[in-house]
Amino acid sequence: MFWIIVAILTAAVAVVLMYPLMRKAEVLEATESGEVAVYKDQIAELERERKGGLISDSEAEYARAEIGRRLLAADAKSSTKLDKPARVQSSHKFASAFVTVLLPAFGLCLYLLTGSPEKPDMPLEARLANPGNNMSLLIAKAERHLAENPDDGAGWDILAPIYFRTMRLGDAELAYRNAIRIQGPSSDRLIGLGETLVAANDGIVTEDARSAFEEGLRLDATNPRARFYVGLAYEQAGRKQEALATFEGLVKDSKSDSPWLPLVNEHIAALKQDNGPTVDRAQTQTQGQAQSQDSEQLGNPSAEDIANAQSMNTEERQAMILGMVESLDARLQENPDNFEGWMRLVRSYAMLKNETKAQEALKTGLKSFPVQGEQGKQLVALAKELGLSLEGVSQ
């Protein structure tokens, strides 16, 4: 039965491939004979019109000469094509032989050499038992195992990064959390969870992600991935000095050929461009007291706030952050000449995904710092970076 089906399919393919060759000759022949027939009909019609007195003899002779010229040209073209039948026929014969004989024979020989016509289909169970390098089967096998053994922490630990690489971010988060719950926190698991949360939120380091990175750093203070994402969290929150210090520390502790250095240096350059010339560590320490005095005005958390946040859960930290942002908003309404405060407020509302409040803060800030000025341009640039609408803002 197998070979009968193969023969039928081969014949069907041969007919499909041969049809254009046969059809081309038929169309060519029909086109040429039809052209000659049209000219002959025109000559007959011209003779009837002359006999009926519709045209004069001189006009009839002139028209007959023109039609005759076209008829002779059509006959000459037909004769020219008829002079080459052997070559065309030979080409068609070669194509026919290739399609009907050589191509099926080549395919059959290839299948007999590389195929397994006598081997039965392998059921799914057998394929899962021997997945080879098939990633889909490997994942399916692991998922089946974990469905039967949900407390296998090692299985979740192996499957989580695979989910992440295949961009199944929801499954990756669940796998990382299960691995942490069963096997306990480790630097790699916590950082993997943080990276999954960042990817799921389009590159934004959320509070959950930042907590995972910070906890991972407590377990491994030298991990460059965690240090980078903590610096990125500071940068996205508008804490530029802390972000700059984190990135510069990462560069200092990294080897010169570390693959992450170009990206880290890009962030350092952007932060220095925003802040102007940066100061060294000694200057930073001497200016620490002055910066702490300005902290409340800019809406930065105090040391006491940071200490209290360590013992809070996610919802409590979120509520604390929202309260600090609203407090900054209220202070800016009373003292609108605080440019850094408006920059922080716009970014904070955007990070909290409150686009309406971010738009209101942007428009209010631009009243004190018009867009024509340098500070107003920085506010507009920040809005573009955060994806805020600039409708109603004159540029």
395 residues of the chain, pLDDT tens digit each = 666 787 788 778 777 776 666 655 444 454 556 666 777 777 788 788 878 778 777 777 877 778 777 777 766 666 555 444 445 455 566 666 666 677 777 777 777 777 666 666 555 455 545 555 666 777 887 888 888 888 888 889 988 988 888 888 889 999 999 999 999 999 999 999 999 999 888 888 988 899 999 999 999 988 999 999 999 999 998 888 999 999 999 999 988 888 888 889 989 998 888 664 444 433 444 344 434 444 444 444 444 554 454 455 566 666 777 777 788 888 888 888 888 888 888 888 877 778 888 888 888 888 888 888 888 888 887 787 777 777 766 55
Q: What is the DSSP letter of 237?
A: T
pTM: 0.42
Cα–Cα dist 335/294, whole Å: 14
The counts of H helices and E strands in the chain are 19, 0
Cα–Cα dist 217/219, whole Å: 5
Query: Quick one: tokens of 385?
Result: 């970076």
Query: Quick one: tokens of 241?
Result: 């000095």
Report in angstroms the alpha-carbon separations of 255 from 246, 252, 261.
Answer: 16, 8, 9
Quickly count: other Cβ atoms within 10 Å of residue 226's Cβ. 26
What single letter denotes the amino acid at residue 219? Answer: L
